[in-house]
Amino acid sequence: MPSSFSTLADQLLKEEYDASPVLASSLGLTEYDERLDDLSREAIEAREEKDTQWLAKLRGVSDEGLGRDERIDRDFLISILRGREILRPHRMWQRQPATYLNPGSSGVFSLFLHRIRPEKELAEAARARLEAMPKMLDAGIANLDFAITPRVYVERAIEQSRATARYARELVPNEVVDPGLRERLRKAGETAAAAVERFRAFLEQNLARARGEYAIGEAAYTALLKEKELLPYDARALRERGREQYDLLAAEAKRIAKDISGSDDWVALLEKLNETHAADPEGMRREYEEWTERARSFLRDTGLVTLPKGERCLVEPSPPFQRPVLAVASYNRPPAFSDSLTGHFFVPYPPENTSAEEIAKRLEGNSSDGIPTTSVHEAYPGHHWHLIMAHFNPSKVRKTFSTSYFSEGWALYAERMMREQGFFTDPKHLLYQYEATIFRAARIVVDTSLHLGEMTFDEAVTFMSEKANLTAPNSKAEVGRYCSWPTQASSYLTGMLEIVDIRTRWLARKGKNDRPALREFHDALTSSGAMPTSLAERAITL
């Protein structure tokens, strides 16, 4: 019989899925496939009120009568709802145009990505979502307040709109074979594309009026760290940690660079090494695919993790609508409530009509010697392997919610662990792994400084270009992302350092530090889900 807490959690999750059918659908709950989120002002305000009520209700649930996992799930839900409460005064639904673009494009894309229903049902669900996109975009036109909307949000959304319209109009119909279904999708796609183009025109007309501030401020940033991520430090302490790590890591990079070239100028060496890359995006994808398999084979041979039977990771071009706003690799997990164990590692293809010069710059940002590190991060034993292991956790709460402070922290930890265990045998590959970690330290400095209001957008772009070995287009895309997603950029290195500390304590209790012990630790921690790291440690501590 379900416990009273289980019944309470199920009720909260049901309301979450009803309010966010795109999320529910991505989790494999197919009964939500035909719907898009209601983003009208009335629906958003009603949801905020429900979140407030749920937060109070969960805070009133005592430990008495709860099992260990239920206490952890309760505290995890409280952290999620508190995070929403902290950001509520910033009215992101009135400031962020992407709020109204993302659900439609990703909601249709995920249907065909996972294909867990017959083609006819998928086509009908996609048609329904495409036809619902005008209503969602009209809500954006009604809700956005350009007095508080940052210009960078609008610029990013304009570029995203171009790619989204093309995706709806030209690419979605090709997802099905049946000519009749294809024609229905073509008509629905035209309706959606026309609405996206109206939305883009609306943004372009109001771009000059967008004078809002993207910085959330020190108090909100610190509250997110302490009350959402359950970490023990504030924004300024985190920034100092980022600076300290940058200096330590840069010293190692200097040592490796000197061994390779005779000079300790690791930045100059990486700029030279960046020139060695695939001839085109498809060649880049093939390199990623090769190194993904090499990383998997290394894990199989060393026994550092358990590889569940039936899992696989496909290496594919990034979604067209994602390309204008994301210049780095990404990963999409199998639906949490499905039987699928197939994940998708997306390689960062350039947007449509990108100039040859910028394509070359993007390929430099995915150089051949840097690809091994990214493959570890995104696939084995990074995001893909972690989320396959998390797939088996029975908690519905942990299947639904996650935090990047664990998921991105784990992926960076995966890089470090593979370095420690000898995967990166070529010194050039080793240098790129250190560079990837330096990049995450630079992200902490920039993200905190941007949201404390102590670094401008242009200063941040310059910092990332000079300190993090990024090309100019990638630096601009990165900083735009930080402005749009406060605290996320800091999650990688912060989470990794927390996981290393958890490992140290866990192995000390075990009294051993060999590969079988590491495998036991890795399997246990990733199987706990993707919660704040302190909750994950509680989950594996007897």
Structural domains counted in the chain: 2
Q: Report the 3 state secondary structure along 400-441.
A: HCCCHHHHHHHHHHHHHHHHHCCCCCCHHHHHHHHHHHHHHH
**Domain check: are 448 and 527 in the same one?**
yes
**Domain check: are 274 and 364 in the same one?**
yes
- For helices 533-540 and 491-510, what crossing angle results, to 10°? 20
Tell me the per-residue pLDDT of 18-39, one tens digit each, with 9 for 90 and over.
999 999 999 999 999 999 999 9
512 found inside a domain: yes
SS3 343: strand
pTM: 0.94
**Domain check: are 78 and 189 in the same one?**
yes
217 found inside a domain: no
Tell me the per-residue pLDDT of 76-113, one tens digit each, with 9 for 90 and over.
999 999 999 999 999 999 999 999 999 999 999 999 99
Going by pLDDT thresholds of 50, 70 and 90, the confidence category of residue 351 is confident
Across residues 401-409, what is the average pLDDT?
Answer: 98
In this model, does residue 362 exceed pLDDT 90?
Answer: no
153 found inside a domain: yes
Tell me the per-residue pLDDT of 497-517, one tens digit each, with 9 for 90 and over.
999 999 999 999 999 989 999
What's the pLDDT at 468? 82
In this model, does residue 172 exceed pLDDT 90?
Answer: yes
Element (H or E) spanning 313, and its range?
Answer: strand 312-317
In this model, does residue 519 exceed pLDDT 80?
Answer: yes
Spatial strand order of the sheet with 312-317 comes to 312-317, 342-347, 330-332
Tell me the per-residue pLDDT of 191-213, one tens digit each, with 9 for 90 and over.
999 999 999 999 999 999 999 99
**Domain check: are 199 and 233 in the same one?**
no
215 found inside a domain: no
What are the beta bridge partners of residue 366? Answer: none
| Residue 315 to residue 331: CA distance in whole angstroms | 9
**Domain check: are 306 and 399 in the same one?**
yes
**Domain check: are 204 and 298 in the same one?**
no
214 found inside a domain: no
Across residues 520-539, what is the average pLDDT?
Answer: 98
What is the number of other CB atoms lying within 10 angstroms of the CB of residue 540? 16
In this model, does residue 327 exceed pLDDT 80?
Answer: no
202 found inside a domain: yes
**Domain check: are 50 and 97 in the same one?**
yes
283 found inside a domain: yes
| Residue 491 to residue 477: CA distance in whole angstroms | 18
What's the pLDDT at 525? 98
**Domain check: are 188 and 305 in the same one?**
no
In this model, does residue 349 exceed pLDDT 60?
Answer: yes
Phi-psi region of 311 (alpha: psi -120 to 50; beta: other; left: phi over 0): beta
Alpha helix segments (H runs only) across 60-177: 68-87, 92-95, 102-114, 119-143, 151-166
The domain containing residue 527 runs over which residues?
226-540
Tell me the per-residue pLDDT of 241-257, one tens digit each, with 9 for 90 and over.
999 999 999 999 999 99
**Domain check: are 353 and 423 in the same one?**
yes
Following DSSP, what letter does each residue of 82-95 receive, concatenated?
HHHHHHGGG-HHHH
| Residue 321 to residue 113: CA distance in whole angstroms | 14
* % of the chain beyond a pLDDT of 90: 89
Nearest to 289 by CA among 333, 347, 236, 244: 347
What's the pLDDT at 325? 64
What's the pLDDT at 467? 86
Distance, CA of 77 to chain centre: 19
221 found inside a domain: no
What's the pLDDT at 236? 98
Give the side-chain half-sphere CA count within 13 A for 202: 20
What's the pLDDT at 464? 92
In this model, does residue 382 exceed pLDDT 70?
Answer: yes
Going by pLDDT thresholds of 50, 70 and 90, the confidence category of residue 422 is very high
**Domain check: are 274 and 363 in the same one?**
yes
**Domain check: are 469 and 430 in the same one?**
yes
Q: Which residues of 455-470 are buried (b: 16+ CB within 10 A; e: fewer)?
A: bebeebbebbbebbbb
**Domain check: are 170 and 274 in the same one?**
no
Residue after which a domain boundary falls, among 179, 209, 239 = 209
Would you say 136 and 72 are in contact if contact means Cβ atoms under 8 Å apart?
A: no
